[in-house]
Structures are given as C-alpha cells and as structure tokens.
Amino acid sequence: MISQKAKYALRALVVLARNDAGQTRMIADISQEQGIPKKFLEQILLELKRAGLVASRRGRLGGYELLRPACDITFGEVLRLIDGPIAPLPCLSKIAYRRCADCGEEESCEVRRVFERVTLATRNVLDSTTLASAAAREKLTL
C-alpha cells in the first residue's frame, strides 16, 4: 500500500503536469483543488523540490512548476522517492535488497517466485505510467 504522502505527491504532480510549460500553480490552489492539507503539501513540494522534480518561484506569478517534462517523470520514480522500494519482500528490492533471514535458497523459494511476478508486473505499470499520461487521463491497458 502506498502512503498518503505518496498519493498526495502524485496528485499534486499530476496537477502541475496539466499546466503549460512555464506556468506555475500556487500551493493554496493545489491544496483546495485536491483536498490536500496545505501544510502537508508544503512539506511534500519541498521534498520534491530537493529531489529536482519541481521548482518554485516567488512573487505575484509565483508558485510551483515541473522541472522536467511530465512525459519524463514516472509514477515509479515518485513512489521510490517518497516511499522507498517498490517490493513486497526485501529480497526483491532493487534499491534496498537484502536476503530474507528465514530463506535458504532464493532460487527455490516458492513465496519469492510468486511475489517476483507481482513485483515485476507492478514495476512495469508504475515505470511506464508518466505524469503526462495520468494528466491526460489515458486509460491503462493491462
């Protein structure tokens, strides 16, 4: 299950993806439109800014905007940034791999084999779904 923080981050980024290049959105507008608590959204956008996904501008025309094209930012990238590894078992993680303490042989582990298929399918969807496709409300084909 993804965290509420990750869900809010994705929703805010999709809002920004719907903007034209160079157009910003104010935190208050995103917060109200998406029903995200403003203080929590401020923290999330600051984290996304530190990670190089968004930029902020001050002043009358200030607000937040994407730093990269929406077609280059995937749901998988954002989820890993906010929530960490996308893996139900530590032995399946790309970025935080570790052997399961109770497992003798990974190659013969029945549980691992099943969850490996689940993990690969999940990663495929998340790493191929961009903010642009979500912003365009495209239907996913499975």
Residue 111, domain member (yes or no): yes
For 72, how many CA atoms within 13 A lie in the half-sphere containing its CB? 7
The number of distinct structural domains making up the chain is 1
- The DSSP 8-state label assigned to residue 20 in this structure reads P
Residue 54, domain member (yes or no): no
What is the pLDDT, as a whole number, of residue 138?
Answer: 55
For 47, how many CA atoms within 13 A lie in the half-sphere containing its CB? 19
What is the pLDDT, as a whole number, of residue 142?
Answer: 47
Higher pLDDT, 98 or 12: 12
Q: Report whether 91 contacts 99 (CB < 8 A).
A: yes
Higher pLDDT, 141 or 12: 12
Tell me whether residue 4 is exposed, middle or buried, using C-beta atoms within 10 angstroms of its C-beta: 0 to 12, 13 to 18, 19 or more: exposed
What are 100-112's pLDDT values in tens digits? 888 778 888 888 8
Q: In one letter, which amino acid is 52? A: G
Residue 8, domain member (yes or no): no
Using DSSP's 3-state secondary structure scheme, residue 139 falls into coil
Please give the Cα distance from 95 to 85 (Å, whole number): 6
Higher pLDDT, 35 or 21: 35
Give the domain extent around 90: 85-131
Span 50-75, average pLDDT: 92
- Per DSSP, helices labelled H in the chain are 4-17, 27-34, 38-50, 75-83, 110-128, 131-135
Residue 105, domain member (yes or no): yes
Among 20-24, 39-43, 116-120, 133-137, the range scoring the smallest mean pLDDT is: 20-24
Please give the Cα distance from 41 to 139 (Å, whole number): 27
Residue 126, domain member (yes or no): yes
Residue 112, domain member (yes or no): yes
Residue 99, domain member (yes or no): yes
Please give the Cα distance from 88 to 112 (Å, whole number): 9
Residue 50, domain member (yes or no): no
